[in-house]
């Protein structure tokens, strides 16, 4: 009898593990992982994120609600890594690994660098796992309108060093000084 119970519990555990792995695979297929890297001299900046697509949905103030914390991509929380201290709008950001969070609005976005790593970008109840006490840098940047519709969320580094976030017809630029 004990062997049957152990076998049943083992099978349930395997089914749960397999189902969870399948769920992760499916979500990553819809929002593929991306890496953006900028290197100059001995400084390297990297961003790891998942790139969701609009797929006919309204993005700004719908899929990405205004005035609420956003994980800045899909799936896991977006990760920003710098091997050197950098400056963002007059504030130093020490070398290290950060999660990147945003609070989008119609005319500006609040950009948040948080020193804690999070396994996933959302809790099971759909709320953000971000803990504000670990925020190390917060800035507000203006929104720019793109001429062309952009189907996928993208993060890029632009020369004269900006970290840009763009999706739909919205773009924001985060100024960085090495």
Average pLDDT of adjacent 10-residue blocks, the chain of 178 residues: 75 63 52 93 96 95 94 92 97 98 98 87 68 96 97 95 97 97
Provide the pLDDT for residue 20.
Answer: 52
Q: Are residues 25 and 59 in the same domain?
A: no
> Residue 36, by phi and psi: left (phi above 0), alpha (psi -120 to 50) or beta?
beta
- Parent domain of 125: 31-175
Provide the pLDDT for residue 27.
Answer: 47
Q: Are residues 60 and 140 in the same domain?
A: yes
Going from the C-alpha of 34 to that of each of 3, 19, 85, 86, 169, the distances in angstroms are 46, 24, 23, 22, 20
Q: Are residues 90 and 136 in the same domain?
A: yes
Q: Are residues 41 and 21 in the same domain?
A: no
Q: Are residues 168 and 142 in the same domain?
A: yes
Provide the pLDDT for residue 123.
Answer: 59
- This prediction's pTM: 0.81
Q: Determine the Cα angle at 122 with ends 91 and 49, to 5°.
A: 60
Q: Are residues 72 and 15 in the same domain?
A: no
Q: Are residues 118 and 131 in the same domain?
A: yes
CA-wise closest residue to 141 among 95, 100, 82, 98: 100
Q: Are residues 158 and 126 in the same domain?
A: yes
Q: Are residues 83 and 155 in the same domain?
A: yes
Q: Count structural domains, the chain.
A: 2
Q: Are residues 101 and 128 in the same domain?
A: yes
Q: Are residues 15 and 54 in the same domain?
A: no
Q: Are residues 49 and 134 in the same domain?
A: yes
Residue whose tokens read 């992982």: 33
């Amino acid at each position: 009898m004990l062997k049957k119970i152990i076998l049943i519990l083992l099978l349930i555990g395997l089914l749960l593990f397999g189902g969870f792995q399948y769920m992760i695979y499916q979500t990553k297929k819809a929002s593929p992982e991306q890496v953006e890297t900028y290197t100059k001299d001995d400084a390297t900046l990297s961003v790891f994120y998942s790139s969701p697509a609009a797929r006919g949905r309204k993005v700004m103030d719908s899929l990405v609600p205004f005035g609420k914390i956003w994980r800045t991509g899909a799936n896991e929380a977006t990760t920003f890594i710098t091997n050197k201290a950098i400056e963002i709008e007059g504030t130093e950001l020490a070398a290290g690994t950060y999660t990147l969070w945003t609070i989008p609005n119609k005319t500006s976005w609040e950009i948040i660098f948080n020193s804690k790593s999070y396994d996933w970008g959302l809790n099971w109840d759909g709320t953000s796992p971000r803990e504000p006490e670990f925020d190390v840098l917060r800035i507000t940047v203006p929104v720019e309108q793109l001429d062309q519709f952009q189907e996928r969320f993208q993060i890029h580094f632009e020369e004269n060093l900006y970290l840009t976030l763009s999706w739909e017809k919205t773009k924001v630029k985060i100024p960085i000084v090495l």
